[in-house]
Chains A and B, each alone.
Chain A
Amino acid sequence: MKKSPILITLALVVFAIFPLVVKDQYYMHIAILILYYALVSQAWNILSGYSGQFSFGHAAFFGTGAYTSSILFTKLGMSPWIGLIIGAVIAAVIGLFIGYLSFRFKLRGVFFSLGTLAFAEILRIIIQNFDVFNKTLGVLIPYKPDPLMFQFSSRTTYYYIILIFAIAVTALVYYISRSKLGYNLVAIRENEDAAQSLGVNTYKNKMIAIAISASLTAIGGTFYAQYMLFIEPATTFSNDVSINILLPAIIGGAGTVLGPIVGSLIIIPIGELTTTWFGNFVGVNLMAYGVILILVMLYLPEGIVGWFQNKFGKKKSAKKNKDSSISGGEEVGTLKN
């Protein structure tokens, strides 16, 4: 663990100078996707990794962010930078509303997951049926590079923006994981009733977690909209989006600070590499991708970072290791409840 500051500094340097070394637009695009998925997955990690409230509907927050900034920009000419903040606030409110309905009435485990899934669908149907949101036509953001309007002609600028976002959110997650809030959330994940009996206000802590998670996911949504310059209900509110958000964290290790980043660093390049390798055979890239995911799930159920911590963190933090190995078992327990 003592080595990690050096490693992290090294990683930061690599990320920072990446665009200076690599000029290829294809690799830049992939790097942006990696950071963007790391960001949204990290946001998901706060709620679902740390407090164990497994959300299957983060598309609700993602879409809210994307649509808020895009609608405000195209209809009122408001800068997406402001829209980003408004979107984050609205997403937090929606998160609190979902949290209120779910946590107030003690929705746990799969029932909470199903609840979030349903909410994302409800929002999609609302968007699809109101003229303000252009119904199913989506929102096309006119291409006019202007830094004040969150649009850049150079891909490098997008890269640095998403890099800063991803680092900031990861730092926040690191801070939370060391704070009282973080300990409370982990306690809730391990055993909610026990945590409550020890005086943890589980309702309040879960509400804070969902609000933070939702608003950060919405920021990812605004970034996506400004990067793609076109959004539609199918690509912002669908279940696919929810799954893509949670996948890096699951692969990398849910409930760990570096999990979503490591996960994203692995699955995005694999997705692209398999396309390049097997592009001549339709669908083989998806099969290879699927096989790799299954192998990770089978052999590294606690994620890559989780596995590393178990394997190499044994001597120095035996106690911590014990906790995380318990968490695996307890998770199943909560799901059964």
Chain B
Amino acid sequence: MKKIVFFMLATLLILTGCTGKAQSGEENIVKIGALHPLSGGLANEGQEMRDAARLAVKEVNEAGGIKSLGGAKVELIEADHEGAPEKGMSEIQRLDREKVVGVIGAYSSGVTLPATQEAERAGIPFVVDIATVEEVTERGFKYTFRVQPPASMMAENFLEYFDVLNEMSETPLETVVLVHEDSVFGTSIASLIEKGASDHQIDVLDNIPHAATAADISSTINKINRLKPDAVIATTYLRDGTLLVNGLNQSNFQPKVIIGVANGAFSNTAFINDETDINQHIMDVNYSINPQSELALEVSQKYEDQFNKHMGPNAAYSYTATKVLIDAVERAGSTDRAKIQEALSETNLTEHILPQDTIVFDESGQNANAQAVLNQIINGETKVIYPDEYKNADPVLPTK
């Protein structure tokens, strides 16, 4: 038995030695950090986003690196926060010691808040790719920038698109039931929609939370059956979203339309490709790539070739965040973090893959032109149906 222990310890030491050596290398490199949940419950999403950052870095390096720094190569330092706030904090310090010039991340709001705070203290530019809660950019931080539209923007976009749908359609949508998963993600969006609903003449019949891990949401289905709303508005993750649509499909009552808001199921390849029996004409107000942009289609294809999976909205935002950060380094022409922060605040990126105008940050560090688009699943494919300048299909309006 003791031999086994010694053997294991020996292996451990050898492995340690191996990883230690890889550090020394060429001088002319610029390090950027990518902080995501690479292990744990959100590992799937985190790795998808890490891959997107890898792709962005690879592209830059293949195109000759950072020109203003004499063609310096970009090196991606990958960090894993495991979904734990204190881990996020210590990973920021680790990245600081690695001398990164900036960081992108971090997907979970609960980690992003303390991690950005730590970066602010250490003076590291932090470009948030995904983190929904408003507070990320509301603390007066200088070094925090966010590419994604926050929860309030999602809710605002939904309300606006809902009005547009009503104008286009002959059968008006008046009553809705909000269904949302009960973590910060679903709760914040649903409560913002509920707050703004009366201004848009929307009658919210009920606002029903459920745990994303729930094995069964038939009580939600029963309530919807009783209330008979015109539309069901859902903010869910993949599994519970599938349960919801399946349950509604099998019940006696069918709403005129199901609309997701930042929905984790309706934007997921697994749901779009595999659930074609039930997903026809479901709509989703979500962030996504711009299908009218040549560049976006090209990047999305590259991502698919390289990682053998579809480039989802999360990946698109990580890719963009990485590009935004590298663009700032290029303009700063320096690896000095304060100069990069300055360059970030002056960002004006026109060549990007998002369905929005140029990427510019407002005083709080929020991507001022960020917006969600209205998607619809038509014959097993997700299409953008509004706003007009980004759409690649005409909407199929509720007819029931």
Residues of A within 8 A of B (CB): 24-26, 29-30, 33, 128, 135-138, 140, 142-143, 228-230, 232, 234-235, 240, 272, 275-280, 282-283, 285-286, 288, 291, 295, 299
**Bound-state Cα–Cα, A286 to B40, Å:** 10
In the complex, B377 has a CB within 8 A of chain A: no
Say whether B330 faces chain A, with CB atoms less than 8 Å apart: no
Chain A to chain B contacts (Cβ below 8 Å), 11 pairs = A26-B90, A140-B113, A140-B139, A228-B85, A234-B183, A272-B90, A276-B94, A277-B19, A279-B80, A280-B22, A299-B5
The answer to the question of B16 belonging to the interface, with a C-beta cut-off of 8 Å to chain A, is: yes
Contact B5 A26 (CB under 8 A): no
Q: Which B residues are closer than 8 A to A by beta carbons?
A: 5, 8, 12, 15-16, 19-20, 22, 38-39, 43, 47, 78-80, 82, 84-86, 89-91, 93-94, 96-97, 110, 113-114, 117, 122, 133, 135, 139, 182-184, 187-188
A295 in contact with B5 (CB, 8 Å): yes
Additional A-B contact list (20), CB under 8 Å, known A26-B96, A279-B19: A25-B96, A26-B93, A29-B89, A30-B90, A135-B187, A137-B187, A140-B135, A142-B139, A143-B117, A229-B113, A230-B114, A230-B117, A275-B90, A275-B91, A277-B19, A279-B78, A280-B22, A286-B39, A288-B12, A295-B5
Nearest B residue to A276 via CB reads B94
Determine the distance from Cα of A33 to Cα of B91 in the docked complex, in whole angstroms: 13
Chain A residues with CB under 8 A of B84: 235, 240
A278 CA to B39 CA, complexed, in Å: 13
Is the Cβ of A33 less than 8 Å from the Cβ of B188? no
Contacts of B78 in A (CB 8 A): 279-280, 282
Asked if B184 contacts A282 (CB within 8 A), the reply is no
Q: Are B38 and A137 in contact (CB under 8 A)?
A: no
- How many angstroms from the CA of A136 to the CA of B78 in the assembled complex? 29
Contacts of B94 in A (CB 8 A): 26, 275-276, 279
B122 engages A277 (CB within 8 Å): no
Q: Which 5 A-B pairs have the closest CB atoms?
A: A26-B93, A282-B38, A230-B113, A283-B39, A136-B187
- Give the residue name and chain of the B residue nearest to A25 (CB): B93
Q: What distance in Å separates the Cβ of A299 from its nearest Cβ neighbour in chain B? A: 7
Query: Once the chains are docked, how many angstroms separate the CA of A295 from the CA of B2?
Result: 11
- Flag if A277 contacts B16 (CB, 8 Å): yes
Most buried by A among B43, B89, B93, B188: B93
In the bound complex, residues from chain B placing their C-beta under 8 Å from that of A24 are 97
Bound CA span A24–B93, Å: 9
Query: Of B19, B85, B114, B135, which is within 8 A of A280 by CB?
Result: B19
Contact (Cβ within 8 A) B184 A228: no
- Residues of chain B within 8 A (CB-CB) of A286 are 39, 82
Decide: A232 and B8 in contact? CB cutoff 8 A: no
Chain B nearest CB from A24 CB (Å) reads 8
**Least distance between B50 CB and chain A CB atoms (Å):** 8
Residues of A within 8 A of B12 (CB): 288
Cα A202 to Cα B28 in complex, Å, equals: 69
In the complex with contacts A140-B135, A276-B94, A128-B80 CB distance below 8 A: no
Q: Which of B86, B89, B184 has most chain A Cβ within 10 Å?
A: B86
- CB-CB < 8 A to B188: which residues of A? 137
- The answer to whether A232 touches B110, judged by C-beta atoms less than 8 angstroms apart, is yes
